[in-house]
Amino acid sequence: MKKIITVTALVLCMVFAVIGCSAPAAEESTAAPSESASTEASASTEATASASTEASGEAISGSVQMSGSTSMETIANALKEAFMAQYPDVSVDVQLGGSSVGVQDAQSGKSDIGNVSRELKDDETGLVANTIAIDGIAVIVHPDNKVTEITSEDLVKVYTGEIKNWKDLGGDDQPIVVIGREASSGTRGAFEELLKIEDQCQYAQELNETGAVKTAVSATPAAIGYVSLEALDDTVTALKVDGAEATEEAIKAGDYPLSRPFIMATKEGELRPEVQAFLDFVMGEEGQAVVADNKLITIS
């Protein structure tokens, strides 16, 4: 009798498994209409939303071409997605190549927007520099460290291995443990680019997350590390760099050296409506919310 029950149970299991496999297909067909209904509904709410933001209320369509900085890839794609969710008829395309490529493409008209992750140089004319966000990097040490400020020259020496002991910076006699991020990190790219020490750093630890850098620095008394400004908390101490505190205010005042603007450069003169709509979106509340989500300083 036991055997009969076992076999029946087993067969039932198999039958259910088969039903389980085939069921989704059936559900899909029934679910499909309701799904399209819901997208329609959301589309209509989007339409009203865009109508409220756009005074003219006309539907915008077309395409926006962006190219340039690889550091801005993440934020550009995030903004693109948020924008296209609201304006489904506009397609936004993000190409990479570096800040200088962004400038050239915007000048030549190859792209509508050139992404530039530095200030525009004096000879890069004919462009409007629309700063959409600011990227700031804090230099952090263990809370017990006596050193509270550092010059950018000394920072270069620490990261290139020229200065190896905290006593050379006015701290205790202990060897500096240089902590940084992995090679493809945007924070590392920005840090090395701002100090002009690309590919020259001698790291003791390369960690793959902002949180990991913070934990390592807070656990190692002799450590120095860098994180994006938004990640700061009281487990670590942020050093003053060249006398300026690592704060949004100091960055906006232009005193703090480890920061750079994210610029979406456009050609001078009238822009196509879809490009203008994109820029308005980026500068507006929703775009800046995306900026804040991506751990960047907003421009407002």
Partner 1 sequence: MNASMTIIGGRKSKTILERTMKGIFIGCGLFAIIAVLIITIYMIVSGAPAMFTIGLKDFLFGTEWAPTAADPKFGILPMILTSLVGTGLTILIGVPIALMAAVFVSEVAHKKVAGVVKPAIELLAGIPSVVYGLLGMIILVPQISKLEALLYANDPAHIFTGGANLLSGIIVLTIMILPTVVNISITSLKAVPQEYKEASLAMGATKMQTIFKVQIPAAKSGIITGIVLGIGRALGEAMAIILVSGNVANMPALFSSVRFLTTGIVSEMSYASGLHREALFSIGLVLFIFIMVINVTLNTLLKKEAAANEK
Which residues are at the interface with partner 1 (CB under 8 A)? 3-4, 7-8, 10-11, 14, 161, 164, 174-179, 182-186, 189, 198-199, 202-208, 212, 215-216, 219-220, 222-223
Which CB, 137 or 244, lies closer to partner 1? 137
Q: Work out the end-to-end distance of the chain between its first and last CA atoms, rounded to an integer number of angstroms.
A: 77
Query: Least distance from C-beta 201 to partner 1, angstroms?
Result: 10
Closer CB to partner 1, residue 48 or residue 174? 174
Structure tokens of 271? Answer: 């822009």
User: What distance lies between CA 181 and its chain's CA centroid?
Assistant: 15
Q: How far is the CB of 10 from partner 1 (least distance, A)?
A: 8
Tell the smallest beta-carbon distance from residue 199 to partner 1 (Å).
Answer: 4
Least distance CB 251 / partner 1 (angstroms): 24
Q: State the Cα torsion 100-104-110-111 to the nearest 10°.
A: 50
Residue whose CB is less far from partner 1, 9 or 31: 9
Q: Least distance from C-beta 198 to partner 1, angstroms?
A: 7
Q: How many CA atoms lie within 13 A of 116 on its CB side?
A: 26
13 versus 43: smaller Cβ distance to partner 1: 13
| Residue 31 or 219 having the CB closest to partner 1 | 219
Residue nearer to partner 1 on the CB measure, 4 or 55: 4
Q: Which is nearer to partner 1, 68 or 266 (CB)?
A: 68
Q: How far is the CB of 68 from partner 1 (least distance, A)?
A: 15
For residue 221, the minimal CB distance to partner 1 (Å) is 8
